[in-house]
Amino acid sequence: KPLQRGERILDAQGKAIFYGVGPISNILLLGIFLWLVMNTSLPTEEIQTFMFVAVGSNALFNVFAIKSLSLPLWRTPIMNNKYLLGAVIIGFVLLGAAVYAPPIQKLLGSVSLSAYEMAALISLGLLQMFMIEGVKLFFRMRGRKIAIA
């Protein structure tokens, strides 16, 4: 629904996600990058590709978690917006092409990632989704307590 005139774009819940989950996940990504650079013998191109996919898939994972701030992810109807669903699918296909299609790899300087690395990237995306869901749960629980009191 559209916002009313004078209504804030970011309420307390939005601020908690934007100023809380966002920086935490960015610091986590920076920490992973620094750890990979300092503690592994992975080639630079592989680390760059890993981080490219981590940052690029971030929004693709989280768009469904923030689609509804009042409902948990598992109750949010994700199939009712075909354009959003199509955009997310296209985004993942393009990321996959950047990592696995040789002409695009050559253009971007990316390399193929292992199944282990892809599993780690999926885990990072799911972790951030769970962090957002935690904020949503906190505000739902807080709202219930206020309503009862």
| Confidence (pLDDT) at 148 | 35
Q: Would you say 53 and 104 are in contact if contact means Cβ atoms under 8 Å apart?
A: no
| Residue from 11, 8, 6, 3 nearest 139 by CA | 11
pLDDT for 63-79, tens place per residue? 988 888 888 888 888 88
- Give the burial string for 45-57 (b: 16+ CB within 10 Å, else e): ebbbbbbbbbebb
Helix, strand and coil in the chain, % to nearest 5: 75, 0, 25
| Lowest-pLDDT choice from 23-27, 92-96, 141-145 | 141-145
Residue percentage of the chain with pLDDT more than 90: 59
Q: Counting every residue, how long is the chain?
A: 149
| Confidence (pLDDT) at 117 | 96
| Confidence (pLDDT) at 147 | 37
Say what the pTM is.
0.84
pLDDT for 108-146, tens place per residue? 999 999 999 999 999 999 999 999 999 988 888 887 544
Question: Average pLDDT for residues 38-67, to the nearest whole number?
Answer: 93
